[in-house]
Amino acid sequence: MHIPAPQKHVSTLFQVIVFTIATLLFCLIAYVPVYKFNSYDPCPHLLPNSNLATLAPLKIRMGLHIRNFSKADMLKNDFTVEGTLWFEFDEKKISLDDIAKFSIEKGEIIEQSKPVISKVGTRTLAQFIIRARFKTDLNYRAYPLDDHNIFIVFSNQTISADTALFEISPENFTCAPDVNVPNCHIEKLMAEAGYTESALTLTDRQQVMRHPRAVFSISCNRIDIRHFLNIFLPLLLIFFFTLFAFSFDFAEHGATVPSIAAAGVPGLLAYRFVIETLSPDVSYFMLSDYLFFLFLFVVFMIFLFIAGALHTSQASKKLIIIGLYACMLLSCSLLFYWIL
């Protein structure tokens, strides 16, 4: 009696089951990195007011109310804000003209209204309606799971920090209820006052210039995972389809199997150009880059296993498939918790 040869290729059902289990495990691994706030944006340099508290007797209270972001492009680092900037000061000791010469750093004030003046006891309150365009220092190392702090920095180069300092309380920074940063949830608002130093080297000495500075920070938690799915899902599907080379019987599809195994590498390289169009233009590696290199590695490993284990048993091929998924999941978890 003729005994049929043992089946050496892996069934499609097994591939689908392993893929489904691996996808569910990946969702568990990615849950915390997706929803936990992690920002690597460097804070603007700010020296504490306490260093000059005895030298600068004048205190200029200030605050900011944001009415709207007419533009907030996180990928291109381009922001336009509309709001009210206010100062409370003693007009007998410092002039309104000097107060009005504030500036926004790494940007420009497009529109600035005439001050709305009112009295608060013996002090003067000046409110300026402004529209300003600016950039901030953003670190995209965790892209496409990156969260950010948007820093809005104001200074006044006509006022010396040796004579006057800004003073801010947390409640002095507010936003309108309908303020929206696209694809992000505003976690919290922070404000801090201080000063900066710049040194001028003269012929016989060095002159240190100090100016008051205020930093307003908006913590933005990315709630839109569209960019992450657009980058990760095609990588995962290329990996999954390449593994289907193990599901073809080499005796019947001898020419097809190596082609399927080899097609994953050029497919990933072609998709690399798509990732570049979706990603910020930076000079360092991001999470998206590490994910691409990870899948390039495991797809290349599939090709090597196909070449070396083509005639092995079905059980061996199943172990290879499970091992490759385990390698992918373990590497992703290490990347998430190393970078994020």
Nearest alpha carbon to residue 146 among 184, 189, 191: 184
Indicate if 178 and 252 belong to the same structural domain.
no
- The pLDDT of residue 138: 95
Nearest alpha carbon to residue 30 among 185, 148, 187, 145: 145
- The pLDDT of residue 7: 66
What is the model's pTM?
A: 0.86
Indicate if 125 and 188 belong to the same structural domain.
yes
Indicate if 71 and 102 belong to the same structural domain.
yes
- The pLDDT of residue 292: 94
Give me the average pLDDT of each 10-residue run along the chain (340 residues): 58 91 92 86 90 77 95 93 96 92 95 93 93 96 93 94 90 93 90 89 77 95 87 92 79 64 85 90 93 93 79 84 94 87
Using DSSP, state whether 44 is helix, strand or coil.
coil
Specify if 317 maps to a domain: yes
Task: Say which CATH number the domain at 29 has.
Answer: 1.20.58.390
Q: How many CB atoms lie within 10 A of CB 305?
A: 21
Indicate if 195 and 276 belong to the same structural domain.
no
Indicate if 78 and 212 belong to the same structural domain.
yes
Indicate if 68 and 186 belong to the same structural domain.
yes
Specify if 3 maps to a domain: no
Tell me if 131 sits within 8 A of 67, measured CB to CB: no
Indicate if 232 and 217 belong to the same structural domain.
no
Number of structural domains in the chain: 2
Indicate if 110 and 16 belong to the same structural domain.
no
- The pLDDT of residue 12: 85
Round to whole Å and give the CA distance between 296 and 291. 9
Specify if 147 maps to a domain: yes
| Pairing mode of beta strands 78-89, 164-167 | unpaired
Q: Which residues contact 160 (CB under 8 A, 6 or more apart)?
A: 209, 210, 211
Indicate if 316 and 215 belong to the same structural domain.
no
Using DSSP, state whether 202 is helix, strand or coil.
coil
- The pLDDT of residue 1: 45
Round to whole Å and give the CA distance between 250 and 253. 5
Indicate if 30 and 118 belong to the same structural domain.
no
Last residue of a domain, one of 167, 193, 222: 222
| Pairing mode of beta strands 206-222, 184-201 | antiparallel
Round to whole Å and give the CA distance between 197 and 205. 16
Q: Percentages helix, strand, coil for the chain, rounded to the nearest 5? A: 40, 30, 30
Last residue of a domain, one of 193, 222, 251: 222
Specify if 310 maps to a domain: yes
- The pLDDT of residue 2: 43
Specify if 144 maps to a domain: yes
Nearest alpha carbon to residue 151 among 231, 254, 45: 45
Domain encompassing residue 97: 47-222
Kindly list the distances between the CA atom of residue 149 and the CA atoms of 127, 135, 258, 301, in Å, as whole numbers in the listed order: 26, 12, 48, 39
